[in-house]
Structure 1
């Protein structure tokens, strides 16, 4: 079994590495409405040609390891023994004044490490940590064809609450 560690990032020093990891390990089935409305994807079938700059801007502008009283992005990574990222979870924690919750914006793994419980370790750590965030629930969205991810999240108690539709004009 390969050795790996997990850690919450507390600064922006590894944003380029995160962006490169995302681009390397993304799949078309990963695209959901969140990728379309954020500009990351042109459609459910096509990633944006500007994905690198869009991700860099989003991770840099949203990343805020500061006060727990404002909305903030929290990033959990898994690293191999060489300190290379092999998995990542990105949460947007939203303190709206009405409902406090977190959106699991991104979860990507290096598929060459599949079957070594890295995704489970990351998600279990994040669920445990989220108990300290003063939130009511975790929310995520997933591409319609990302069936493996759907099964994985359901195993951890996530339940489908809606379907999204889009009309491109």
Structure 2
């Protein structure tokens, strides 16, 4: 994921993984490790491993119980390039969907970099639909 700037969206800026919405932080890997060291009860991690045990997919999901709505945010989903179009991403999204329903969530939200067209098509095939555009203004 860190090799492809098309993945960058406002969530990566909000999480301190990109400073400008165009490039990744140089210390991206250490920031991910730090974030996942102790994710807490509000964050779930789903991983997929290949037959040889290597990591081939990962998803980070945040569970939110608000005053009026319960929702999940699919904060990140990354599939090893050689595993894309194998059905792995769809199986991972289906598992996240099952867990969200089990937890009584009403929605699953996600955001995707504006130029990540392949991911947009994938999410639309998984029954997600575009509901807003996000705008940002850097103040620094």
Structure 1 counterpart of 2:46, from 47, 62, 76: 76
Cα distance per residue 1:61-91 (max 9 Å; x no partner): 4243xxxxxxx11111111112111011110
Alignment pair present for 1:104 and 2:74: yes
Q: Distance in 2 between matches of 1:117 and 1:85?
A: 16
Structure 1: which 4+ aligned runs deviate by more than 6 Å?
Answer: none
Q: Distance in 2 between matches of 1:90 and 1:152?
A: 17
Q: Distance in 2 between matches of 1:110 and 1:167?
A: 32
Q: Distance in 1 between matches of 2:40 and 2:83?
A: 27
What's the C-alpha RMSD, in Å, of the aligned pairs?
A: 1.5
Q: Distance in 2 between matches of 1:98 and 1:58?
A: 28
Partner of 1:137: 107
- Give ranges in structure 1 of 5+ residues lacking alignment: 1-21, 65-71
Alignment pair present for 1:40 and 2:17: yes
- Give ranges in structure 2 of 5+ residues lacking alignment: none
Q: How does 1:17-166 map to 2 (within 5 A)?
A: 23=2, 26-64=3-41, 72-166=42-136
Deviation, structure 1 residue 28 = 0.4
Count of residue pairs brought into register by the alignment: 139
Partner of 1:5: none
| Residues 101 and 163 of structure 1: CA distance in aligned 2, closer, same or farther (over 3 Å) | same
| Residues 60 and 96 of structure 1: CA distance in aligned 2, closer, same or farther (over 3 Å) | farther
Deviates further, 89-98 or 103-112: 89-98
Deviates further, 85-94 or 48-57: 48-57
- TM-score when normalising by structure 1: 0.76
Deviates further, 50-59 or 33-42: 50-59
Deviation, structure 1 residue 102 = 0.4
